[in-house]
């Protein structure tokens, strides 16, 4: 019995590969250009310098990691060359839970291809991070889900973390650019250390707000770009009502809107339909959220009274956790 449905792969793959040109991607690219240009200029002078960085904030499922990954793929493609003649690289590290600064150093060393054996001090570990970063031309580190390194109410521990970030930016031998991404509370932590806040530019990935004309236009463009990719038409929706339902169903999160679009369009294609209808979105919602079929913001007249968005988002996250492969 085959476990890979090749027909479904052919339908979903082009949609999952599609990229919508969000305005926020330009903001992120501008911030990266600001950091990299500053780094190159100072490195070419040859004196001690401090690097700059970016704080990318937004609620979960707003697409932060996707946009950062795309940007870093471009940065790491070999065309960004530093004054020493080597292509520059920025490595990424996902923080999946509470970690100490020492644990974080071990994770970064693993990303750099160095496996720690035996007991080592925190100072020794981070000394090796700087050494191997310099040897490999790594000029920056992206810490994803960075809020996990901070603790609630422990100002001393948090200050030590902030001081450690500062030391990476200001290292005398090999300063590193930093990209810190996470939920909005991350920016609050960063602002507690003035010297770091001064060196970091904040890029916000805000949720969908249909009262903003730009968001309304961007959402409509997003819908039709994906529909064109699928070579499908949308049903004759009452557009304002549909966009409100779609935004509500996605908990104002751009990433979830894209997931719902891909799922609904895929269902239409797999069913052989030429038009993507409301029923496809209702089914897509049930499959992604885990709710019973037909119980969705797309099918219920008083949907805002029947769903609590905080609980709804928790259902999305629970369903995603169940689908995600377990880490070995």
CB 61 within 8 A of CB 289: no
Look at the alpha carbons of 200, 205, 206, 210 in this order and tell me if their dihedral is positive or negative.
Answer: positive
Percent of the chain residues topping a pLDDT of 90: 76
Specify the pLDDT at position 23.
87
**pLDDT of the residue at 116:** 79
Rounded CA separation 179/199 (Å): 11
Q: Which of 98, 82, 258, 244 is nearest to 176 (CA)?
A: 82
| Residue in 109, 100, 101 with CA at minimum distance from that of residue 128 | 109
Predicted confidence band of residue 157 (pLDDT cuts 50, 70, 90): confident
Please check the confidence at residue 108 and state whether its pLDDT lies above 80. Answer: yes
- Give the mean pLDDT of 177-204: 94
Query: pLDDT by residue (tens digit) across 224-253?
Result: 999 999 999 999 889 999 999 999 999 999
pLDDT at residue 119, rounded to an integer: 85
pTM of the model: 0.88
The pLDDT of 42-60, averaged and rounded, is 95
Question: What domains, with CATH codes, occur in the chain?
Answer: 23-205 (3.40.50.300), 208-323 (no CATH)
Q: In the sheet that 200-205 helps form, which strands lie side by side, from edge to edge?
A: 89-94, 138-144, 177-182, 53-58, 200-205
pLDDT at 47 over 70: yes
Average pLDDT score over residue span 258-278 = 96
3-state secondary structure of 75: helix
Instruction: Report the mean per-residue pLDDT for the chain.
Output: 91
Instruction: Please report the pLDDT score of residue 323 as a whole number.
Output: 56
């Amino acid at each position: 019995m085959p476990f890979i449905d090749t027909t479904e792969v052919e339908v979903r793959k082009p949609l999952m590969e599609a990229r919508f040109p969000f305005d926020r991607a330009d903001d992120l690219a501008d911030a990266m250009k600001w950091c990299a240009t500053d780094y190159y200029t100072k490195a070419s002078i040859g004196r001690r310098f401090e690097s700059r960085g970016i704080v990318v904030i937004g609620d979960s499922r707003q697409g932060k990691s996707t946009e950062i990954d795309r940007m870093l793929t471009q940065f790491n493609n070999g065309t960004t060359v530093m004054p020493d003649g080597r292509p520059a690289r920025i490595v990424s590290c996902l923080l999946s839970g509470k970690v100490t600064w020492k644990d974080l150093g071990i994770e970064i060393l693993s990303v750099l291809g160095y496996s720690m054996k035996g007991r080592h001090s925190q100072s020794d570990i981070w000394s090796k991070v700087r050494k191997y970063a310099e040897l490999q031309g790594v000029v920056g580190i992206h810490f994803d889900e960075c809020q996990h390194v901070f603790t609630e109410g422990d100002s001393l521990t948090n200050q030590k973390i902030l001081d450690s970030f500062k030391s990476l930016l200001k290292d005398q031998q090999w300063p590193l650019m930093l990209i810190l991404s996470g939920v909005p509370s991350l920016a609050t932590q960063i602002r507690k250390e003035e010297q770091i806040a001064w060196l970091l530019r904040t890029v916000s990935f805000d949720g969908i707000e249909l009262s903003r004309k730009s968001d309304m236009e961007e959402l409509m463009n997003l819908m039709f770009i994906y529909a064109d990719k699928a070579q499908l038409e949308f049903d004759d929706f009452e557009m304002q009502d549909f966009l409100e339902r779609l935004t509500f169903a996605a908990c104002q999160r751009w990433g979830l809107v894209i997931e719902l679009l891909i799922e609904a369009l895929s269902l239409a294609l797999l069913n052989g339909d030429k038009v993507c209808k409301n029923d496809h979105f209702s089914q897509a919602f049930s499959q992604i959220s885990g709710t019973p079929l037909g119980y969705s913001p797309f099918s219920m007249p008083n949907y805002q009274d029947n769903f609590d968005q905080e609980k709804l988002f928790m259902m999305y996250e629970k369903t995603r956790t169940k689908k995600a492969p377990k880490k070995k």
